[in-house]
Every structure is written in structure tokens, then in C-alpha cells.
Chain A
Amino acid sequence: MIRLEKRPQPSQAWSMATPLVAVLATMLFGGLLFGLLGTNPFLAIETIFWEPLFGEFAFYYRPQLLVKGAPLVLIAIGLSLGFRAGIWNIGAEGQYIIGSLTGAGVGLAFYPLEAWYIFPLMVIAGAFGGWAWATIPAILKVRFGTNEILVSLMLVYVAEQFLASMSLGLLKNPEGFGFPGSRNLQQYASAHNAEIVTGTGMHWGVVAALIAVIFAYVLLNRHMLGFQIRLTGAAPRAARFSGVRPARLILMCLGISGALAGLAGLFEVAGPAGQVSIDFNVGYGFTAIIVAFLGRLHPVGILLAGALMALTYIGGEIAQGQLGLPAAAIQVFQGMLLFFLLALDLLTNYRVAWRKPEVA
């Protein structure tokens, strides 16, 4: 009989090896799927994983990996802090939307004034919007003990309705011939989150994501708050005895994750997306939850996980365009990758042992 035994220490070797094993397993099963759909499996796998990084047009796709990965990493870093402490914000999608609305709203309020301070103000407003939206579940949890998983999730739907309302109403482009959607911030220099160096994909959101990774790393390893977060996650009761104030921790963790999600929304709306529209949000907030777990809630892990997710998105699009694979096949492929990554993580914390069934 197979039994699982908890390892006294998480295995370093397995925590490095499992992602690789998972990717290989996905290639195998994904290849089977593509084969069944009538596509050359080797070509498909090569297109997804190789083409964006080292293919003929890698000079274009590599920067795009930054564009696609940055919001995922930025949001996931914020979420991971809370997750480590057992504080579950799964409403980052909503905080992302609200951040984009407050940020873009501030920018559009200044239109057509050109001034250096507009973009910094938008950044502050975006972070504030996300922070405020995440503070709602935080306050409810602290004050009434309400479950933050559910409140933050509910607020996603509320935010989506706000977004629709704003795109059709208050923020609608007055020169847009009545179509929904705001002015394009890419055409408003003071509000545009442009590439810092043209052609590199490096916009302020990417910079912010990298800073967040470093910030989280330092926070968790060198700072009192990071210690409290880790302690609360590992041993909540011990944490309380050692002077951790749970209310403060909840407000901090949800607040930080909300602010980072809001920032991600602002950088996206002012940069790559350009405008507020009904379908502005494309699920970064939810995908980031997966990214956080794939990265084992570790800042560097999240960076790598974000890059891997971005790779499958971009490689998947190329496979669709080049090989005619349906979008659904790519979705299933991504689902498989996540399953394997999640399932194999088991080997990091547990040892598989064969043992005879005990006789009772």
C-alpha cells in the first residue's frame, strides 16, 4: 500500500525538480492531445515553448513576455504575502479593475493638460483604488470576522459592473462616436505608460513587478513584518503569543496585495491596453492566484512561474496562428500544466513510502 509520510523538512531537491518534471509530463500528455487533434505534437510543443524564446521572431516575443508576465508577477507577489499568513485575497481581479478605473480616471480628469505630475498622480490613484477595494474585506474581517475569501470574490463582480458602467458612461470617450470605452491614454503623452526603452517591452509595470519581487524577498527575509507573516502562517497561536497583532496583519496583507493589483491595473490601462473598456479585464487577477501557488509563494518562484505562464500564453497564440490549433486546446494544455505542477508539489513536502497495510 502506498502511504505518504510528511518530510521533517521540505525537500530542496524536489522543490527544484518538480516544476521540471511537471513541464515534461505536460509536454507528454499535451503532445498526445495535439496528436489526437491531428497536429504534429513535436512541432506544437516546439512552437509553444521554443518559438517565443529562441525562434525567428524572438526579438519581438521576448519583450512581449515581459508585457504579459509583469501584471501576473506584480499581483501574485502581493497575494503571496497574505497567502503565507493564511489571509486569502482571491479578489485581485476586482482590485485590478478598480485600480485601472481610479488611475485612468485621474489621468482623464486632467485631459488635455500636459504636465509631468499627471502620471505619478495616476500611479498613486491606481494603487489607492486597489488598496481601498481590498480594504473592504479586510475591515469586514477584522471588525466582524467575515470570511475574506468570499467577500473579495463577491467584490470582483461588483467591480466588473462598475467597469461596464464607467465604459458606457462617465469615462466614455466624448469623441468616440458613442462607442463604449474611454479615450486612449496611449495618445495622451502625460498619462501614457510608454516603454522606457523602445522595443524592450520594459514599461513602468515591469519595473514595478521587479521591484516588488525584491521588496517581497527583503521583507520576508529581513523584516519584522515578514517574520510575523511567516510565523502566522506556520503557527498562528505561537504568533499571537509573540506579539503579532492579527488585525494589523490582515489590514497590511490585504492592503498591500490590493495596492499592487491596483498598480497592475493602472500600468496596464495606461500602457499596453490604453483604454478603459467593458472587457478590459482578461483574468490576470485569477491567473495570478495560480502563479502565486506555482511559485510556491516564494518571490523568485513567482517570477519564474509568471514567466512560464506568459510563455504558454504567447506560445499558445503562435501555435494557434501557425498550426491552426483551436484556442480550446491551448486552454486544456494550460490546465494540464497547472494540474501537474500542483499535484507534483506533493513530493516536496511528503515522501512516498510503500508499506504493508497495518493489521488493526
Chain B
Amino acid sequence: MKLTSLLASAAMVLGLATGAVAQDKTKVGFVYVGPVGDGGWTYEHNQGRLAVEAEFGDKVETVFVENVAEGPDSERVMTQMALNGADLIFTTSFGYMDPTINVAKKFPNVKFEHATGYKTAPNVSVYSARFYEGRAVQGTIAGRMTKSNIVGYIGSYPIPEVIRGINSAYIHAKKVNPDVQFKIVWAFTWFDPAKEADAAKVLIEQGADVILQHTDSTAPQAAAKNAGNVITFGQASDMGEYAPMPRVSSIIDNWAPYYIERTRAVMDGTWETVNTWNGIGQGMVGIGEISDAVPADVKAEALALKAAIASGEHHPFTGPLNKQDGSAWLAEGEVADDGTLAGMNFFVEGITGDIPQ
């Protein structure tokens, strides 16, 4: 007998067995790339898991495994969850993409949800958040607040997700402040507090008085606080402990509504494959409380932009926009298509410096 059918039949036997005991309990699994105590990416996914438990109470059982390496380890953890009767499994890192597809093939009756990837299957959905919408709001505040006209940006790796954020922030900062200049530093890590602190300090020493970060620790916040007159934005989680200064606002990954909705769909039997890319409008991207350190008119402007993005009235990538090399990209009034955004590998005109290759 082939493994596929062996596994499937085993899962069915189990499904029948557990079905008799707890027929109405839906089991939801979560695979995390970091520890739940990372205070950022994995922490927020775990908040989403807790929200699912809070929403459905006894009707749901959640399990999770943290610190799961991408590759064969993740494939085994997913299989283990599926074997043990999970009905729905959220895999929360880009590197889980191929393992998710592999495991999903073996368990056609289990639903999978892969974060930030692009491969779907009859039982695999993908979901991601339009963080760049939040970056537009940050860019507006940054452009208005900077006195030195230098905005520092800590990037993790030069991948489309990060590049999109830089472009969006830059476009909106430039719109309100034509003199603004971005200094970009690549940390080549998602998480290394000491290095992030160094990066923030370097940017501040080179004149930046606004720091945007696309890495997950609060180290840059602390560095900015020590420096005094520098503002920052929370990343992934609210980082509210640094409000009102230096943290003046934040982008919050809010997975809870999506996790609850998808769990409900599995319970109702209405689950189907979707390719979700939600933003501020659907609540997947949250904008943290804009603190009093921001003048009222700037705050109002930022909130108006947020509202316009949420309603779909404004798209952060609206022409006219040129690429960094000066070639035309979007004509007047034209908005970027999702395909280009998903694979974005160029800076827009005005940003200095190259994307490392």
C-alpha cells in the first residue's frame, strides 16, 4: 500500500474514532517558526490562536508547535498534527510553503492555510496582509514629523515584502515632504535585537530623526528612546510600552479575525480555497493608536489617509510613479496590480541606494 493511502486511511480511522468521542470539537493546529515569546511575528500569530479559543470556547481545540525549522522538520510537524486529527492547520512562515503543499496532498480532508506564500491547492489557502497600506500611514507621519528630513529604515532581507514597505512609506513621505530622504540599512536577519539596536543607533547618528523598522524586536525603540528626539513605529505588535515617545504609532498584524473566520468556515463546512491579501479595510492590518507626540493636524491627516485606504478610495501605489532608474511604471491615476506588488524587486524613483543582490 502506498503511504498516501495508508496515511489517508489512518486519518479516516482516527477521524471516525475521535468523531465518536467528541463529534463537535474542531481541532486547529498552528506551526510557528519562532518562539511564542518573540514579542513580534510568532507572538501575534499566537494571539490569533488564543482569539480562536476565546471565540469558540469548548467547540474548538487548538494545538501549536513553536521553533519549527523550515524544511523536513516542519513537514513532520504538520503531518503529526494531521494524523492526530487536526481539521485545520495554519502554517505561519514563508519557508513552510512547499512542505505545506506536500502534506496537504497526503491529507485531502484536512484544510491548510499558509501565510505569506503563493502556492494554493484544493485544500490549501494562502493568506497575507497588505502591510504596505500601514507603511503609507507611517510614511505620512514620518514625512510630516521629520525635522532633519532624514528617515532611517531598518530592513531585514531584501525581499518583495520589505521592498514594498519601503516604497510605500517613501511615496507617502515624499508626498507631504518633498525634501525627505530615506537611509536604508539591511540587517540580514529577522530577529537579532543587538544588531537591530546598532542599526537604529547608526541611523540616528547619521541624522535620522524617524526610524521605521521591518525587523521584529523592540531594540530600535529602546535605542530611539535613549537618543531623545527620535520617533519610531511599532512593528508586528503594538510595542505600546514605548508610547507616547518614541513610538508614535504602529503596524499591528491582526490575524485574529481571519483565524476566527476560517475556523468557522471549517465548522460550517463552507471552507474553500482562497487567496487572501487583506489590508486595513478588513482589519488584518491594524494601525496602533497615534500618540499625542504627533500634532493634531498630522494625526488627522494620517487618520484620513487610513480611512481612504480602508474604504478603497486610495491605493498606496497610484501613478504617476517611476522606477528608481527613471523608467515609467504607473501612468497618472493607474494603480499597481497585485502581481507586480507580490514580486516587487525595484525601488521607486527618488530612493537612493541599491537593493543588495
User: Which A residues are closer than 8 A to B by beta carbons?
Assistant: 56-57, 59-60, 64, 67-68, 164, 168-169, 177-181, 184, 186, 198-199, 268, 272-275, 277-280, 282, 314, 317-318, 320-322, 324, 326-328
Please indicate the chain B residues that have their CB under 8 angstroms from the CB of A181 in the complex: 95
Contact B160 A168 (CB under 8 A): no
11 contacts between A and B (CB under 8 A): A56-B14, A59-B6, A59-B10, A67-B76, A178-B163, A179-B159, A199-B6, A277-B95, A282-B73, A321-B80, A328-B35
Q: Does B256 touch A at the CB level, under 8 Å?
A: no
Measured CB to CB, the nearest residue on chain A to B83 is A57
What mask results when residues 58 to 71 of chain B are scored 1 for a CB within 8 Å of chain A, else 0?
Answer: 00000111111111
Contact B157 A180 (CB under 8 A): yes
Smallest CB-CB A-B distances: 8 pairs: A199-B3, A272-B72, A177-B343, A273-B71, A327-B67, A282-B69, A178-B160, A320-B65
Q: Does B77 touch A at the CB level, under 8 Å?
A: yes
CB distance from B31 to the nearest CB of A (A): 9
CA distance A64 to B94 in the complex (A): 23
Please indicate the chain B residues that have their CB under 8 angstroms from the CB of A318 in the complex: 80
Q: Per DSSP, are chain A's interface residues mostly helix, strand or loop, or mixed?
A: loop
Contact B65 A327 (CB under 8 A): yes
Q: Does B158 touch A at the CB level, under 8 Å?
A: yes
Please indicate the chain A residues that have their CB under 8 angstroms from the CB of B102 in the complex: 186
Please indicate the chain B residues that have their CB under 8 angstroms from the CB of A275 in the complex: 98
CA distance A318 to B36 in the complex (A): 17
Contact A279 B95 (CB under 8 A): yes
CB distance from A70 to the nearest CB of B (A): 11
Contact B6 A274 (CB under 8 A): no
CB distance from B22 to the nearest CB of A (A): 15
Q: Which of under 10, 10 to 19, 20 to 34, or 35 or more describes the interface residues of B? A: 35 or more
Please indicate the chain B residues that have their CB under 8 angstroms from the CB of A56 in the complex: 14
Q: Which of B70, B163, B342 contacts A277 (CB 8 A)?
A: B70
CA distance A211 to B172 in the complex (A): 62
Extra 12 A-B pairs, beta carbons < 8 Å, given A168-B356, A178-B345: A164-B188, A178-B159, A186-B102, A199-B6, A273-B72, A277-B95, A282-B73, A317-B73, A320-B66, A321-B63, A321-B81, A326-B36
Contact A279 B69 (CB under 8 A): yes
CA distance A318 to B69 in the complex (A): 15
Are A67 and B72 also in contact (CB < 8 A) when A177-B118, A199-B2, A317-B65 are? yes
CB distance from A264 to the nearest CB of B (A): 13
CA distance A9 to B80 in the complex (A): 46
Measured CB to CB, the nearest residue on chain A to B11 is A57
Contact A322 B84 (CB under 8 A): yes
Q: Does B270 touch A at the CB level, under 8 Å?
A: no
Measured CB to CB, the nearest residue on chain A to B346 is A178
CA distance A67 to B66 in the complex (A): 21
Q: Which of A60, A168, A279, A280 contacts B79 (CB 8 A)?
A: A60
Please indicate the chain A residues that have their CB under 8 angstroms from the CB of B76 in the complex: 64, 67-68, 314, 317
Please indicate the chain B residues that have their CB under 8 angstroms from the CB of A282 in the complex: 69, 71, 73
CB distance from B253 to the nearest CB of A (A): 19
CB distance from B65 to the nearest CB of A (A): 5
Contact A169 B357 (CB under 8 A): yes
Please indicate the chain B residues that have their CB under 8 angstroms from the CB of A328 in the complex: 35
